[in-house]
Amino acid sequence: MLASVMAFDEPLAQHTTFGIGGPAACMVYPENRDELSTLLKYAHQQHIPAFFIGSGSNILVWDEGFDGFAISLRKTFKELTITDDFQIIAESGVMLGKLVKDAIRAKIGGLESLIGVPGTLGGALIMNAGAFGSEISNYFQQATTMTLEGELKTYTNEEVEFSYRHSTFPEDEVLIEAVFNCNEGVPEEIQKERVIASNNRKTNQPLKFRSAGSIFKNPDGNHAAGYLIDQAGLKGTRRGGAEISEKHANFIVNAGEATAADVFRLIKLAKQKVAEEFHINLELEVKLVGFPESMLSEIYYA
């Protein structure tokens, strides 16, 4: 098996926006599709666990790490093309922020509210990332994925369903490339919406602290997850170095030397309090990686 860059016992805390997480048995940066295919085939045949780390946002890695392959496409799968007719063709390792900025420069309208949303395009599309009324799936046309057996597949927009922070891309396939059909916008309106989105983010989110973004999805109904956690009296609650943000209760921040166990305790507390007081089961938006099954069963209750 070949790969351009491989690092053994690589501390994942250095690769996550939380700054939390033990080592991956092996972190790999495949150089191209052939190397990714070889890697996935090998992992599948040898029953080695693997996950795609993207930019390290939206994940919480267990303190003992991950006994398998952590695969990153952000250094190599970075091709981005915008055509004269406002079509965007992007590989999954492209940072969403770069895609949005390049789209704005190309006078494409509709994506500007996503400015500042962290993560790679691959992760953003799979979870249908959105902000301030706009979602990445709005302009989706087609995507190329790779199966765990290393084979390529193509999906059109008719074959993928999107909902709030969810898509129906198969979980056992990795997104390689996506195509978006966009529209020309009015430059003045684009810049206006970009400034509004940027200011809202600065005003309402704890950007000075390390975090994984929103911890929970907003439940169906009139109230956001942050509001429910706030009303449960949990803003500012700390466990070790982790804190439910005073600024936005749906953010748990690394206030200093936080461990995954600290964050997990706050996740569990928030779920329990909101369930008790409002009879609402908050669903995680952040992905837990490497956690013992016994711990996961404590919070994934109906």
List Cα–Cα distances, 101 to 1, 51, 98, 142, in angstroms.
37, 28, 5, 21
Give pLDDT, residue 72: 94
Whole-prediction pTM: 0.91
Task: Report yes or no: 181 and 86 within 8 Å, Cβ to Cβ.
Answer: yes
Between the CA atoms of 21, 26, 29 and 31, what dihedral angle is there, to the nearest 10 degrees? -170
Known active-site residue 159: no
- Considering the domain delimited by 80-190, tell me its CATH architecture: 2-Layer Sandwich (3.30)
Higher pLDDT, 63 or 190: 63
Contact yes or no for 152/145 (Cβ under 8 A)? yes
- Residue corresponding to tokens 């098996």: 1
Report the 10 Å Cβ neighbour count for 68: 17
Mean pLDDT value of segment 213-231: 93
- CATH 3.40.109.10, applies to 5-71: no
Say whether 165 is catalytic. Answer: yes
Q: Round to whole Å and give the CA distance between 52 and 12.
A: 12
User: Which of 227, 266, 220 lies closest to 249, judged by CA?
Assistant: 227
Q: For residue 176, is pLDDT > 90?
A: yes
- Residue among 165, 177, 193, 194 flagged as catalytic: 165
**CATH code reported for the domain at 206-299:** 3.90.78.10
Instruction: Clarify whether 210 is annotated catalytic.
Output: no
- Per-residue pLDDT tens over the stretch 26-84: 999 999 999 999 999 999 999 999 999 989 999 999 999 999 999 999 989 999 999 99
Q: Return the domain boundaries, the chain.
A: 5-71, 80-190, 206-299
The torsion angles phi and psi of 274, rounded to 5 degrees, stand at -70, -35
Rounded to 5°, angle at Cα 87 from 107 and 37: 130
Mean pLDDT, the chain, rounded, equals 93
Catalytic residue among 55, 214, 239, 243: 214
Please tell me the predicted confidence (pLDDT) of residue 117.
Answer: 87
Dist. CA 230–CA 253, nearest whole Å: 15
Choice among 18-22, 53-57, 231-235, 246-250 with the minimum mean pLDDT: 53-57
Least confident of 115-124, 251-260, 282-291: 115-124
Mean pLDDT, range 114-120, rounded to an integer: 88
d(CA 83, CA 256): 45
Q: State the Cα–Cα distance between residues 272 and 281, nearest whole angstrom.
A: 8
Identical fold between 80-190 and 206-299? no
Running DSSP on this structure, what letter comes out for residue 216? B
- Quick one: how far is CA 162 from the chain centroid? 15
DSSP 283: P
What does the pLDDT read at residue 300? 64
- Kindly list the distances between the CA atom of residue 126 and the CA atoms of 73, 136, 170, 275, 284, in Å, as whole numbers in the listed order: 15, 10, 9, 28, 15
Is the per-residue pLDDT at 186 higher than 70? yes
CA-based nearest residue to 204, from 194, 212, 189, 214: 214
> Residues 302, 271: contact at Cβ < 8 Å?
no
Chain centroid to CA 53? 9
**pLDDT at residue 301 greater than cutoff 60:** no
Range scoring the smallest mean pLDDT among 75-79, 133-137, 249-253, 296-300: 296-300
Q: How far apart are CA 247 and CA 211, in angstroms?
A: 13
